[in-house]
Chain A
């Protein structure tokens, strides 16, 4: 199939927005995203002109600095059929906030809206746009799932990751009390208000432990690192992965585990 030129031309071209956190902290998620998108019939490219979506500046109220970064992202991705990011947070930033940021800038309004319309979070893109179902993937574990806030509330990501994970052989999903409650990450909040953030993630970690799961999954690395970091500090032996790593069959070392 891959050699078929006709098929090749009908494959949508996806620009992968890696996100700064995945890029610097867990490349495996980026490679898992590529594998999944390709399996879902897409051609994937990773524009090198990308860095970050601009949220650290935007959430600090520094709108001018955010616009500089947003223009860079728009320029790098507007030529693709889709921008897909393995996170709800950055996808929501590009989809919802970029058009607002340029609402009064006639040169950029349409470009921001155009990119917004084709921007998706990875797991919901696989289900909603590509109708993808993972084949022949197995992962034996009892897992629980945390719904990260931006994806859940801004993009409606809730059923899609569960639908995808249901196709994984040997994986049992168990409910998490407070699965729609923030884990206390909040971007720069987690370091600016470190003690409050720590208190919030302590509650989350307690719920994760109480779920009885031996694996915690989610779709946003920032939140996953926050929860994994707390679980590890407490000595809880719960392995933490991005859902894409499981779905792509690339769940080797969990977050914080040394590569074998």
Chain B
């Protein structure tokens, strides 16, 4: 049983568990700290990052504004290249299409290169439910498949594991028991483990970083080369992609790649950037016999109306790496396929706001996520937008609603407000010891983890009025 999928656990409980795990903290800080430093160096070396990012946002906005047109152009060109294009309204439809293709191909084993959309629509589970053996080929996805977990980061799915954890996991599951806890040796062991499956699989499934309308090609970018080995040897290649991945031209896809890769890892470019266009043609040395592209909506056409900016998202993970909340609790605590700021915007779309109300609330609105976003998504504004919907939809707990209502009533009546303070401050002072309050009724939210300074005996306003009146 996958402990991560237990939906009876609340966000706060999951966060509490994560905070109590010192290993998690070490793993997260290694991965995200490294990513932050490298991204900062890449951005500093870019002559005009701000202009590049505005141009990238404009490319995405143009594609989003004309999404239906470009998707139709893409479909036409993809079909012309020999691909088969499928449209899925939701996750069930998408999974059914993929499973049906696998069954038609008589697939016993499918290889899969990392795709967050696959996680979003529950494809790993759907394949297993259909009795199809699933082999994750991305190294980090391989790790979490062995650990029976979900990804905790959209770029580094195993960001919650230290390399020491992974060494133990490999020792337990791999055939070769010789590797040492050195990265090189562990990678070699995983390679040995996966190699045969690349060539045995009947179907290879990938995601897509871009859908290029002008050519009908899909683009994958990886650092491990596993996407190429997943999509080339099997007879059938299935692409699952969200419809927001559409761009007009190859040049635009490459322009966005420059931002995506720098934002994600700080590198100039990924090791492998591949455009896949149609199945194997006569005379080609390799390639699949069938090339299927499953275009998935799953809430995206609704986002066109409510939050079109979010459809710009390139899935780079920079907002996760820079988020103080993500850095404290890691990805699993969020409970959805996508964690961090972008996940807190997306999960209510996919899972419903009532089920995920904590996510947009558990944010300090400090704005660093927007600052580092390579396509300038106003994440804090979108998160607050969910709070507003949550308030209007009466999803917020009664106690929260009542306390805000009482506070707002008093704050709208200055005389009452100042009178209230005149009473409250002396009472608060009774709890102070030597300038600090370390415990006080109704203040445990503050005082559980830090002290509260002793308030003054009277407010600024009271003191100011006294001084002005010459008292």
Contact = CB atoms under 8 A, between A and B. Distances in A.
A149 to B, nearest CB: 4
A50 B328 contact: no
Interface in A204-243: 225-226, 228-230, 232-233
Interface string A47-80: 0111110101111111101101100100000000
A230 B386 CA distance: 30
A242 to B, nearest CB: 12
Q: Is the interface of A mostly helix, strand, loop or mixed?
A: helix
Given A184-B324, A229-B450, A233-B449, A25 B455 contact: yes
B460 A22 contact: yes
A30 B367 CA distance: 27
B469 to A, nearest CB: 12
A256 B461 contact: no
Interface residues of A, number: 68
Given A193-B362, A229-B453, A233-B449, A200 B325 contact: yes
A25 B432 CA distance: 13
Interface residues of B, number: 65
Contacts of B327: 200, 203
B411 interface: yes
Given A22-B460, A59-B384, A153 B367 contact: yes
B448 A65 contact: no
A186 B392 CA distance: 22
A69 B451 CA distance: 30
Contacts of B328: 196, 199-200, 203
B407 A232 contact: no
B366 A186 contact: yes
B407 A256 contact: no
A225 B325 contact: no
B414 A62 contact: no
Given A22-B460, A61-B389, A229 B446 contact: yes
A62 B387 CA distance: 8
A30 B460 contact: yes
Contacts of A59: 365, 384, 387
B424 to A, nearest CB: 8
B191 interface: no
Interface stretch (B56-64, B269-277, B434-442): B434-442
Contacts of B392: 61
Interface string A130-168: 000000000000000000011001100000000000000
B461 A182 contact: no
A26 to B, nearest CB: 7
A120 interface: no
A152 B463 CA distance: 31
A46 B466 CA distance: 13
B90 interface: no
Contacts of A68: 408, 412
Contacts of A23: 421, 459-461
Interface string B372-388: 00000000000010111
Contacts of A109: none
Nearest to B436: A256
A190 B446 CA distance: 7
Contacts of A174: none
Contacts of B417: 51
Contact of A189 (B362, B449, B461): B362
A57 B408 CA distance: 7
Contact of B368 (A149, A184, A193): A149
Contacts of A230: 449-451
B42 interface: no
A65 B450 contact: no
A114 interface: no
Given A51-B411, A60-B400, A198 B449 contact: yes
Given A56-B404, A154-B367, A69 B434 contact: no
Interface of B: 12, 15-16, 19, 324-325, 327-329, 361-368, 370-371, 384, 386-392, 396, 400, 404-405, 407-408, 410-412, 414, 417-418, 421, 424-425, 434-436, 438, 444-446, 448-456, 458-461, 463-465
12 contacts: A23-B461, A24-B425, A26-B453, A27-B456, A50-B414, A51-B417, A60-B387, A180-B368, A191-B445, A200-B327, A230-B451, A232-B450
User: What are the 9 A-B residue pairs with the smallest beta carbon separation, nearest first?
Assistant: A186-B364, A198-B449, A191-B445, A61-B387, A229-B450, A61-B391, A27-B460, A182-B366, A149-B366
